Structure 1
Amino acid sequence: MEEMDKEYKYPINHVYIHGYEYEVNIDFDGASSAWRANKQSLGNGSFKYICEAKTKQNENCKKRPMKGSCFCNIHQDN
C-alpha cells in the first residue's frame, strides 16, 4: 500500500533515475488552476485562450489574444 501525504490526497511516489531516488509530489489542483488561468471553458472539455491583461475595472480581459501573443489587439501595445 502506498504511503499517503497528510497535506495532499494523492499518493507519494518515488522514482529512481540513474540510481538516485526522487520523490514525486505533484499538486494537481494547483497545476490545473495555473493551466486554466489564461483560458475560458467552452464546455464539454474544450477551452479557448483569453487575453492575459486586466481591464480598467481590474477584471480579466475576455478577448481572444492575437496570433503568437498573450494579449488582444487592445492590450498588445500597452
Structure 2
Amino acid sequence: MTKEEAMQIIKNENLQFFNWFNDHDISPNEVLISQQGNIWRVSTTDERTNAISEKEFDSEEKALENFIKRVRGLNKFQNLSI
C-alpha cells in the first residue's frame, strides 16, 4: 500500500481518529503512524495519550497496511460507542 492509497481509503471510508505522520498533537484514542529513518512505527493511544501496542516496520507498505487496519477497527469501535 502506498501513502496515496492509504489516504484514498481514509477519504472514501470517512475514517477518523488518526494522526498521519505527526500532522497534529497526539490526542487520546487515536492511531499514530510515524517514520524515523528507515523505520515506520504504528501505535494506538490510550485515554491519556500514551502510545500502546506499538509496532515497528522496515517497510512503509506493511506499516500503512497495519495503520489502515487499526484505523478501521478504532472507527468501528468508536461508532459502536455512540
- TM-score normalized by the length of structure 1: 0.23
Whose relative contact order is higher, 1 or 2, with alpha carbons under 8 Å and at least 6 apart? Answer: 2
Q: Which has the larger radius of gyration?
A: 1
